[in-house]
A and B are shown apart, each in its own frame.
Chain A
Amino acid sequence: MSHDMMMAIAILLPVVAAILVYLIPDYRTRGGLVILTAVILILNSLAQLRQGPFNYTPAGTGWGEAIKWIDFLMLFFFIYAAVARRSLLILIFTLTQLFPLLYWEFVLRAHVEVEPAFMVDHLSIVMTLIISIIGSLICVFGVKYITDHEHHLNRQKSRQSTFHFWMIIFLGAMNGLVFANNLYWLYFFWEVTTLCSYMLIGHDLTKEALANATRAYWMNSIGGTTFVFAIIYLYANGGSEALSLQKLIAGGHSAEIILLPLALLCFTGFTKAAQMPFQSWLLGAMVAPTPVSALLHSSTMVKAGVYLVVRLAPAFSPSNLGQLGTLFGELVALCGSFTFLGASLLAISQTTGKRVLAYSTIANLGLIIACAGINTPLSIAAAILLIIFHAISKAMLFLSAGTIEHIIWSREIDDMEALAEKAPLTTLITGIGILSMFLPPFGMLLSKWMAIEAATSVSNAAMSNRFLAPFLIAMLVIIAGLFVVASAATVVFWSKWLGRLLEVVPRIERRYEKVSPGYFVPLWILLVGIFAFGLLISPVYHNFVQLAVNNASQGIANVSSQVLTDGGFVTIESVRSFPGAPYSAGIMPLGFYPVWILFVLLAMALAVPFFIVSVKQKELRPVYLCGENCGDVDTECYMTAAEQKTKMTIGGLYLQKLFGEAALNPTMNLIAISLLIIFIGIILGVTLR
């Protein structure tokens, strides 16, 4: 396939397909078209994987102009939206983008010509695989879901076609975003994803949905604004050339020119990745139909935020900027790891399944950003592994949550009790999804293990500065501290939720639920994906991650360690030699993670007992209720002091006073805002010096 073809399918095909889907009124034809688009996108992304990296600039000059005018059109649409919704915030943050852009366009008379316009490298290939495969699966899941959803809400007027339209456009915009080399084009795609999320979050048109869509828009527009400023700053100081991502990453610009725009772009990434204090837009996005949440959380939107930070990592590496780079990176890591902690603690207090998922996403994005900030090849590898594994597991969990919602028609965790009896298959999938988020041997934990090893094995010649070194060390230790507490909090909220699903009463008749293949097919594919990617870590690492790491960490010097994967073993080896130590060639393993052995152990610990242990009906007993059980059979019932038969209920532990939003949010947001101010402030100070 030619390069033209591939790029057209990745970016333009979704647009065409979306328009067709919008126009087709028939449920079956529309569903078929969504599935067809999904298949083509998946095949195309695989073809891109086979093809490997290339640079690409579309022929003809019209593209740049078109992008410019569509961009202005979008901004004018938002001015209309601001008036229609009577939202001052939308207006403000649209104008903060519009005026600078108008100034840039018509006063500075910007003439942007960046060669190449698109770059396809290994990092963007990993991203497009995630977007095309996982995103498409979610769109397919959406076909059946949205029908049931409207049926349940008793909608008079169907808005299914609008829903599919924005879902599919989203995929195209994301593909454009990860391929763009021209920063202005990247900004354009960035804005399209913001528009899509605005439309999708507000899809149900309820008051709450519209309010949350508004918030999502204005928060993301703060990031859009800083993006515009970064572009104008780069253009004013370095000309059109400076807007090439490739050039930005390769270094060569002086620190004064790129430090500030880099900080602004990282900030933009933070807003889109819903880092604290911007977490509320992603939480609000939960009002949308579940496939939207799945899409926003796993393969699109928030992943664009972390993609940008990971992509920019080489630009602020110590080899590019020296000690300033270390400082920059650690500040980014501090912001990320703080969000990791804050979101993990807040997740403990959440009573709704989807909100737990949302906080967990925010936490993991924080971890990814922290890894990008630590900025060693090892930490970048951890970041990319996290992006991949998080996308798979989270997509599966959201789709499971959607399936559960359509079984019990509730999102509350407490309502999910005994789901293991009511819907064993869904529970099995959800359970594996939950376990895969935080326990060995699954990929997420492997990545977290790698992240912690990376965080502590920072190697830096730049540490020689006597003045700065104590601060850098202190920051590093604080980051490690934030990591470990957050990691422990993660264990608590996942276990609590899984425990609730498993809480069963003996002698309830078990029956296998009937779930439409429209739900189960994407779920089973993702389930296979979790195990396949977990087990085949070695080829996955070699074929995706290692190459992408090279892309995202080119020029990072002071390499202290490297990852070696061999079959089922992952070893982190020190590159430094240890004189006097009895190692062959002075090379010492820093860490060792035997993936396959751990999978075997998992099978022995859980799967084998699952099939071997059998409990006979006569061995089942009611639980201990101080001897006040109503009888031997109905164990949910007990006698109160007044000899009344009462149904037992067990509430969950949510620790609202300790970790509730009301208790933590003010402090957490204050610290997060201070961190951002410190970050931007220090960089501004250094630039103006």
Chain B
Amino acid sequence: MSMDSQYSMTGQILNIILVVGALIVAPLLGGFLSGVDRVLTARFQGRKGPPVWQPFYDFLKLLGKERIATSKMQLIWMYAYLMLMVTSLLFLLLRQDMLLIVFILGFAGVCLALGGFSTKSPFSHFGANRELLQMLAYEPILLLLAIAMFVNNGTFMVWRIFEKDVPPLLISMWPIFIAFLIIITIKLRKSPFDFATSHHAHQELVKGLTTEYSGPFYALFQLAEWYELVLLLGIVTLFWAHPIWIGIVIALVVFLLEIVIDNISARMTVGWMLKLTWALGLFLCISNIAYLYFKRGVF
């Protein structure tokens, strides 16, 4: 979308309708994908698994449960987490400043961790601390992704990526794409990075930072996770923005890859995660950005 049509009246209205629609569709898509995840994971493990729609059944069931909590602040941070996750998806759909999207996503992560801290529970503190360490691992890579987009496109605005004269990012930014794959695994809290909380109970962690959430409040967390999944896959599609269907195919392949990785790897330690992302991830990103600068020649 070019600058002019973005600011025209009809363009604006169309945009808003599109965005509102997308915000409604996103959790449905996210829930469906996590259903697919559960089915595939079951097949990997030689089980039949639940129906694809199981996440939605679970969600509805959780909503109907009794409201119990351990503190009020805990609930407020969970609302904030959901709100900010939606906001950051909204900003992505509006093709806004990538750096800002990363910062808002970071704020969402902080809210989740603070929710874990807001109650005197050892397990949720455990998870919250680990969530913060995960942020320490992925935040730099996400920021560098935004910076690389800037160097490549000349702007932080996402809508530039969708213009005809910008070649697909994957061609010149494949090292960052690899680093981003690691980040997605961390963000989705899948093995080998299921430290903060996970879909299966772990002995020392119980349910990590979601231990003290239950019923409707836990449903909020589920909802936010679905938004997050769509957001992350949305960022993947940016790597091949036109024709967009190639980007979507790449995103789906990435999603399947994440499921495979989840099933074939064991949990590692937080220290290992930091080493991996800071050594390999930062190396990939920084050398990629240096290459992009050289390719551009002048600043």
Stretch in B31-39, B40-48, B116-124, B225-233 with 4+ CB within 8 Å of A: B116-124
User: Could you pull out 21 A-B pairs where Cβ atoms are within 8 angstroms?
Assistant: A439-B103, A449-B103, A452-B143, A453-B99, A458-B299, A460-B299, A491-B109, A491-B132, A492-B133, A499-B116, A502-B117, A504-B71, A582-B3, A591-B157, A593-B97, A605-B87, A609-B75, A613-B76, A615-B67, A619-B68, A624-B211
A164 in contact (CB, < 8 A): no
Q: Is B144 an interface residue (CB 8 A)?
A: yes
Partner of A582, one of B2, B143, B271, B290: B2
Q: Which of B84, B136, B206 is the one whose CB lies under 8 Å from A605?
A: B84
Whether B140 lies near A484 (C-beta < 8 A) is yes
Which residues does chain B contribute within 8 Å of A610, judged by CB atoms?
76
19 more CB-based (< 8 A) A-B contacts, given A492-B133, A624-B206: A449-B100, A452-B143, A487-B139, A491-B110, A491-B139, A492-B135, A495-B114, A499-B113, A504-B119, A582-B2, A588-B160, A590-B157, A592-B97, A592-B156, A598-B104, A601-B83, A605-B111, A606-B76, A635-B120
- Complex: how many Å from CA A491 to CA B298? 34
Sort chain B's interface into a size bin: 35 or more
Q: Hey, which chain A residues are within 8 Å of B79, CB to CB? A: 605, 609, 613
Q: What distance in Å separates the Cβ of B5 from its nearest Cβ neighbour in chain A?
A: 9
Out of B69, B80, B118, B133, name the residue touching A606 (CB < 8 Å): B80
8 tightest A-B contacts by CB? A499-B117, A488-B139, A623-B121, A605-B83, A484-B143, A609-B79, A653-B129, A605-B80
Which residues of B line the A interface, CB within 8 A?
2-4, 67-73, 75-76, 79-80, 83-84, 87, 96-97, 99-100, 103-104, 106-107, 109-111, 113-114, 116-125, 128-129, 132-133, 135-136, 139-140, 143-144, 147, 150-151, 154-157, 160, 163, 165, 206, 211-212, 271, 274, 278, 282, 285-286, 289-290, 293-294, 298-299
Give the CA-CA distance A593 to B157 in the complex, in Å: 11
A492→B143 CA distance, assembly (Å): 15
CB neighbours of A485 from chain B (8 A): 140, 278, 282
Residues of B within 8 A of A456 (CB): 147, 150-151
Minimum C-beta distance from B254 to chain A (A) = 23
The answer, yes or no, to whether A648 is at the interface (CB within 8 Å) is: yes
**Nearest A-chain residue to B100, judged by Cβ:** A593
A463 and B125 in contact (CB under 8 A), knowing A495-B110, A499-B118? no
Per-position 1/0 for A152-174, Cβ under 8 A of B:
00000000000000000000000
CB <8 Å contact, A506 and B70: yes
Determine the chain A residues whose CB is within 8 A of the CB of B116 once the complex forms.
499
Contact between A502 and B155, CB atoms less than 8 A apart: no
| Chain B binder among A14-22, A99-107, A203-211, A573-581 | A573-581
Determine the distance from Cα of A489 to Cα of B133 in the docked complex, in whole angstroms. 9
Chain A residue, CB-CB nearest to B137: A488
How many angstroms between the C-alpha atoms of A589 and B125 in the bound complex? Answer: 42
Q: Is A476 part of the binding interface, using a Cβ–Cβ cutoff of 8 Å?
A: yes
Contact in complex: B3, A588 (CB < 8 Å): yes
Given A445-B103, A463-B298, the answer on whether A417 and B140 have CB atoms closer than 8 Å is no
Q: How far, in whole Å, are A580 and B154 apart by their CA atoms in the complex?
A: 14
With A440-B107, A456-B151, A476-B293: A498-B114 Cβ-Cβ less than 8 Å: yes
Residue in contact with A492 in the complex, picked from B136, B157, B290, CB distance below 8 Å: B136
Q: Which A positions have Cβ atoms within 8 angstroms of B?
A: 417-418, 420, 439-440, 445, 449, 452-453, 456-460, 463-464, 470, 473-474, 476-478, 480-481, 483-485, 487-489, 491-492, 495-496, 498-500, 502-506, 560, 574, 578, 580-584, 588-593, 598, 601, 604-606, 609-610, 613-615, 619-625, 635-636, 648, 650, 653, 658
Closest B residue to A560 using CB positions? B299
State whether B3 touches A583 (Cβ < 8 A).
Answer: yes
Q: In the bound complex, what is the Cα–Cα distance between A623 and B117 (angstroms)?
A: 12
For the complex, give the distance between the alpha carbons of A606 and B72 in Å: 12
Residue of B nearest to A604 (CB): B83
Residues of A within 8 A of B2 (CB): 582-583
Q: Would you give the shortest CB distance from A336 to chain B, in whole angstroms? A: 18
Across the interface, B299 reaches (CB within 8 A) one of A459, A478, A502, namely: A459
Contacts of A452 in B (CB 8 A): 99, 143, 147
A439, A453, A489, A625: the one within 8 Å of B107 (CB): A439
Question: Chain B residues near A496 (CB, 8 Å)?
Answer: 117, 129, 132
| Chain A positions within 8 Å of B129 at CB level | 496, 653
Chain B hits for A473, CB < 8 A: 290, 293-294
Q: Which of A418, A483, A488, A610 has the most CB of B within 10 A?
A: A488
- Collect the chain B residues with CB atoms within 8 Å of residue A614's CB: 72
Known pairs A473-B293, A499-B116, A610-B76; A489 contacts B136 (CB<8 A): yes
A440-B103 in contact (CB<8A): yes
Q: Which chain A residues lie closer than 8 Å to B140 at the CB level?
A: 481, 484-485, 487-488
Chain B residues positioned under 8 Å from A483 (CB to CB): 143
Question: Which of B99, B120, B136, B156 has the most A CB atoms < 10 Å from its CB?
Answer: B120
> In the bound complex, what is the Cα–Cα distance between A653 and B128 (angstroms)?
10
What distance in Å separates the Cβ of B128 from its nearest Cβ neighbour in chain A?
6
Chain B residues with CB below 8 A from A658, complex form? 271, 274
On whether the beta carbons of A487 and B143 are closer than 8 Å, the reply is yes
* B119 x A503 contact (CB < 8 A): yes
Query: Given the complex, which residues of B lie within 8 Å of A460, measured CB to CB?
Result: 299
* Chain B residues positioned under 8 Å from A598 (CB to CB): 104
| Bound form: Cα–Cα A82–B212 in Å | 59
Assess the B299–A650 pair: CB atoms within 8 A. Answer: no
With the chains together, A322 CA to B91 CA distance in Å?
A: 40
Task: Decide yes or no: A484 and B132 within 8 Å by CB, A440-B103, A613-B76, A635-B120 being known contacts.
Answer: no
Residue in B117, B157, B206, B299 whose CB lies within 8 Å of A592: B157
Q: How far is the CB of B142 from chain A (nearest CB, A)?
A: 8
Bound CA–CA A495/B100 (angstroms): 19
In the complex, what's the smallest C-beta–C-beta distance from B44 to chain A, in angstroms?
A: 30
Q: A499-B118, A591-B155, A610-B76 are in contact. Are A439 and B110 (CB under 8 A)?
A: yes
- Which residue among B125, B151, B163 has the maximum number of chain A CB atoms within 10 Å of its CB? B125
- If the complex has contacts A453-B99, A492-B132, are A648 and B120 also in contact, measured as CB distance less than 8 A? yes
